[in-house]
Amino acid sequence: MREELIMLTAAELAVGKCHPTSFPEPRRVYAWIRFLSKAIRIQSHSIAYTRTAVKIRFLEPLIKVQREGWVWLNFVAPVPHDPTNSVDPEDPDSEKQ
């Protein structure tokens, strides 16, 4: 049995108080997603944001299904734009190709 993905709830987003803004084009980002027993960092696309959260679209790694959901803003970092630099500065196991 697979673990359920944990994304932010409407209460955490305070949807009545803030209105999400969509990005004109999705932006490539690294994002942390949570499961009950672990958190993993994935590459995804940010598609909307609020002051405190980002909506991401990603391929769920365990079941290979496209998903969307909200994560806290500090769970997201932009993917570097330099195509010749494949090193993730936050990943000590990352290697430049």
Instruction: Say which amino acid occupies 65.
Output: V
Give the model's confidence band at 82: pLDDT under 50 very low, under 70 low, under 90 confident, else very high: low
What's the predicted TM-score (pTM) here? 0.77
Average pLDDT over residues 7-18: 86
What stretch of H or E contains 66? strand 65-72
Residue 22 CA to residue 97 CA, distance in Å, equals 33
Average pLDDT over residues 24-34: 95
Average pLDDT over residues 20-49: 94
Give the model's confidence band at 4: pLDDT under 50 very low, under 70 low, under 90 confident, else very high: confident
Q: With contact defined as beta carbons under 8 Å apart, do 60 and 69 qualify?
A: no
Higher pLDDT, 83 or 11: 11
Average pLDDT over residues 7-20: 86
Residues contacting residue 33 through CB under 8 Å, at least 6 positions apart: 5, 6, 7, 39, 40, 42, 56, 58, 69, 71, 75
